């Protein structure tokens, strides 16, 4: 399995959110500090996921149905954890995009 660029996406959203915090006068705030701590925890979690991702086999024919089921469950659980982490940052990015629209609207008046 591949993490599908989630590490780069996390970096992208991290920078995006820092810019929104700065544009709204909240850089160096407690909110920013909490965000930085949360991102650090998520990066650690992501490294753990990378280390625990299920391995691909070159040939699954030799496996029993029970072994195949275990592999499928592990792959699904891994995918769900990665999707959950990505979804968290997707929602943050969407929120930042809405805030950017508000900022632009104020400056266009």
Mean pLDDT of the chain: 91
% residues pLDDT > 70 (the chain): 96
23 assigned to some structural domain: yes
Look at the pTM and tell me if it is higher than 0.85: no
pLDDT in tens, 12-46: 999 999 999 999 999 889 999 999 999 999 999 99
CB 78 within 8 A of CB 1: yes
In a domain, 65, yes or no: yes
Residue partners of 20: CB distance under 8 A and separation at least 6: 96, 99, 100
Residue 52's domain comprises 6-108
Do the Cβ atoms of 84 and 78 come closer than 8 Å? no
Domain-embedded: residue 67 = yes
Those residues whose C-beta lies under 8 Å from the C-beta of residue 89, and which sit 6 or more positions away, are: 9, 10, 13, 42
**What are the structure tokens assigned to 95, written together?**
């929120």
- Look at 42-46, 57-61, 102-106 and tell me which has the smallest mean pLDDT: 57-61
Residue 1 forms part of a structural domain: no
Q: Count up the domains in the chain and report the number.
A: 1
pLDDT at 107: 87
- Could you tell me if residue 40 is inside a domain? yes
């Amino acid at each position: 399995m591949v993490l599908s660029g989630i590490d780069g996406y996390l970096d992208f959203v991290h920078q995006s959110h820092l810019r929104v915090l700065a544009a709204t006068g909240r850089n160096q705030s407690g909110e920013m500090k909490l965000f930085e701590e949360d991102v650090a925890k998520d990066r650690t979690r992501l490294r753990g996921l990378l280390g625990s991702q299920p391995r691909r086999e070159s040939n699954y024919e030799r496996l029993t149905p029970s072994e195949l089921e275990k592999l499928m469950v592990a792959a699904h659980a891994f995918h769900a954890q990665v999707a959950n982490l990505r979804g968290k940052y997707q929602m943050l990015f969407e929120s930042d995009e809405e805030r950017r629209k508000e900022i632009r609207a104020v400056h266009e008046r």
